[in-house]
A = this chain, B = another copy of it.
Amino acid sequence: MISLADLHRRIESGELSADAALAQSLEAIAAQEKTIGAFVCRAEQPHAQTAGPLRGIAVGIKDIIDTADFPTEMGSQIYRGNRPRADAPIVVALKRAGATIIGKTTTTAFAANDPTPTLNPHDHGHTPGGSSSGSAAAVGAGMIALALGTQTGGSVIRPASFCGVAAIKPSYRLLPTVGVKCFSWTLDTVGLFAAGVEDLAMGLSAMSNRPELLLDATMKPPRIGLVGQEFAGSPEPAGAEALRVAAAAAERSGASVRALALPEIIAEAWRVHPIVQEFEAHQAFAWEYRQNYHAMPPLLRSRLDESQGTTAVEYDKAVKVASRARHALAGLFDEVDVLLTLSAPGAAPKGLTSTGDPRYNRLWTLMGVPCVNVSAYVAGGGLPVGVQIIARFGADAQALAAARFVEQALKQ
């Protein structure tokens, strides 16, 4: 994979030109893209900028995010040839930081479940996950150093786990979702994919103009709460093993690790996530569902068909449960710095008919807390499995620092 932080250091020191850094991505894309299929369209004559911390960095943008220079087709025929007038603010933020937008990456239609043709770079017979399929696969295949995705259930952390890349779903609204196709306004969160945690920190800091997100040189061993998410069912052996391996490595490196039981209200929040998501999706996709019913992606359409009966009363109740659960969760962070839990049930499923199961992700999206995926284990067949490190709402710097600690511990 291409490390953003490494490229940055070499460009800053004068060892590498921004043009040469960009050329590295272009070569990798020329070699890999035909097989992986991570992009829906690419810049015709990309060039490196001359200033900014992300100069020379090729970035892929999930195709539900508005771009003025590329079509934004949402993975759906309903938006074929759609050309937004403006870039989404997060795209402008990347450009302002010096990045080169290299192209749009594949997305399941409207960031739901209907799979893309993108292949998992670690085993072409497996899904890269979704909905941010192209972004995860493009970084995982070493084509680009940074990519944007979005998560409503588990669409950033899960594909990152399946593709063996680092990813952050920041605190809710740390990055604006303006100009991003809405699925659920309470849940939709923009996230980043990169080779490692330091790369994520550099990308997120540059985009958000928040220097405090850059990692310290010193690494304090975190107090870790180990969370099994039993309410979400049991993991596969590979998922369980990834969590065990990560916890053991962190403890060996000096972190305190202790099992943490989540209060019942948090399990309840896990259960109501689909109510919030589908009730809002019915409004967010009102035009598509009403005017283009037959052109709707079939899996999303079925979900909408099935959830038609959800009432405003049920939704209001679910929103209140989420609010109480956020409160309860905040209390847990008085005892531990971060939580460590599963990123996915196991390795990427075989085939391209499913993008995998977001059951270990959706709670944290509803809680709005920062989640970082770190690759922890390689299952049979060479497929990676990640774990997620979760901090208090707003403590994105702490989530990144602890994730970096776990990442380093796993290398020892």
Q: How far is the CA of A178 from the CA of B188 in the complex (A)?
A: 12
**In the complex, what residue of chain B is closest to A283 when comparing beta carbons?**
B89
Q: With contacts A312-B210, A316-B394 known, is A283 near B93, CB below 8 A?
A: yes
Q: CB-defined interface of A65-107 with B at 8 Å, one 1/0 digit per residue?
A: 0001000000000110010011111011100100000000000
| Complex contacts, A178 vs chain B, CB 8 Å | 182, 185, 283-284
| Complex contacts, A284 vs chain B, CB 8 Å | 89, 176, 178
Q: How far is the CA of A286 from the CA of B176 in the complex (A)?
A: 11
* Contact assessment for A89 and B312 in the assembled complex, using a CB-CB cutoff below 8 Å: no
Q: How far is the CA of A90 from the CA of B219 in the complex (A)?
A: 49
The answer, yes or no, to whether A123 is at the interface (CB within 8 Å) is no
| Complex contacts, A82 vs chain B, CB 8 Å | 85
**In the complex, what residue of chain B is closest to A173 when comparing beta carbons?**
B185
The answer, yes or no, to whether A280 is at the interface (CB within 8 Å) is yes
A83 → chain B, closest Cβ, in Å? 10
**In the complex, what residue of chain B is closest to A91 when comparing beta carbons?**
B287
| Complex contacts, A291 vs chain B, CB 8 Å | 68, 86-87
The answer, yes or no, to whether A411 is at the interface (CB within 8 Å) is no
Q: CB-defined interface of A204-219 with B at 8 Å, one 1/0 digit per residue?
A: 0000111000000000
Q: How far is the CA of A88 from the CA of B284 in the complex (A)?
A: 8
* Contact assessment for B68 and A209 in the assembled complex, using a CB-CB cutoff below 8 Å: no
Q: CB-defined interface of A358-369 with B at 8 Å, one 1/0 digit per residue?
A: 000000000000
The answer, yes or no, to whether A33 is at the interface (CB within 8 Å) is no
The answer, yes or no, to whether A290 is at the interface (CB within 8 Å) is yes
Q: With contacts A178-B182, A182-B178, A185-B178 known, is A86 near B208, CB below 8 A?
A: no
Q: How far is the CA of A284 from the CA of B92 in the complex (A)?
A: 10
The answer, yes or no, to whether A19 is at the interface (CB within 8 Å) is no
| Complex contacts, A280 vs chain B, CB 8 Å | 176
Q: Can you list 27 residue pairs at the A/B interface with Cβ under 8 Å?
A: A68-B287, A78-B85, A86-B288, A86-B291, A87-B286, A87-B287, A87-B291, A88-B287, A89-B283, A89-B284, A89-B286, A89-B287, A91-B287, A92-B286, A92-B287, A96-B286, A96-B290, A173-B185, A176-B182, A176-B185, A176-B283, A177-B185, A178-B185, A178-B283, A178-B284, A209-B312, A316-B394
Given A89-B286, A96-B290, 19 extra CB contacts under 8 A: A68-B291, A78-B85, A82-B85, A86-B288, A86-B291, A87-B286, A87-B287, A89-B283, A91-B287, A92-B290, A93-B286, A173-B185, A176-B182, A176-B280, A176-B283, A177-B185, A178-B182, A210-B312, A316-B394
